Amino acid sequence: MKRLVLAVAALLICSGVAAREAPPLAADQQVEARLMAIAEELRCLVCQNESLAASRADLAMDLKREVRELIRGGKSDAEIRDFLVQRYGDFVLYRPPLKESTLLLWVGPFMLLVAGFAGVAIFVRRRRGAQSAALSAEDEARADTLLQKRTDA
């Protein structure tokens, strides 16, 4: 009981402290919104499956600082993306442009899909052909009599 009273008292003391709104992370929220929109589309080079926006890696923080400054400097989104591509290559873009070096990346999966469909089509057609050829006239007659028996019974 004593413990409970103590716990409640502790909670009451804390609640006064916690009741403050979190301050905004950045002074300029418009810049921050644009930064996040751009960084969402960029790959973090240290932790390659994370976007720049989500990453807390040192380099990601530095790159975000750089992008923030470019935004403040009045650069367009395309110019900022170019800035990073010039340094880190198309790899930083989660949606790389369609060109010779990225052709396989864009077309490859569809080629595999088409090959898969072709494989299935050939497989199904062969099986169907094999089945219809398997029944000779004799077999057909036997099947007929067997079926006849069942309906009679």
Residues 109, 95: Cα–Cα separation, whole Å: 15
Number of residues that bind another protein (CB under 8 A): 20
Contact 31, 68 (CB under 8 A): yes
Nearer to another protein, 19 or 130 (CB): 130
Interface stretch with another protein, choices 31-39, 57-65, 72-80, 136-144 (CB under 8 A): 57-65
Looking at residue 73, its amino acid is G
Q: What is the CA radius of gyration of the chain?
A: 33
Separate counts of helices (H) and strands (E) for the chain: 6, 0
Q: Which of 8, 9, 28, 89 binds another protein (CB under 8 A)?
A: 89
Q: Does residue 136 bind another protein (CB under 8 A)?
A: no
Q: Does residue 71 bind another protein (CB under 8 A)?
A: no
- Minimal distance in Å, beta carbon 59 to another protein? 6
- Minimal distance in Å, beta carbon 45 to another protein? 4
Which of these, 25, 35, 90, 91, lies nearest to 66 by C-alpha position? 35
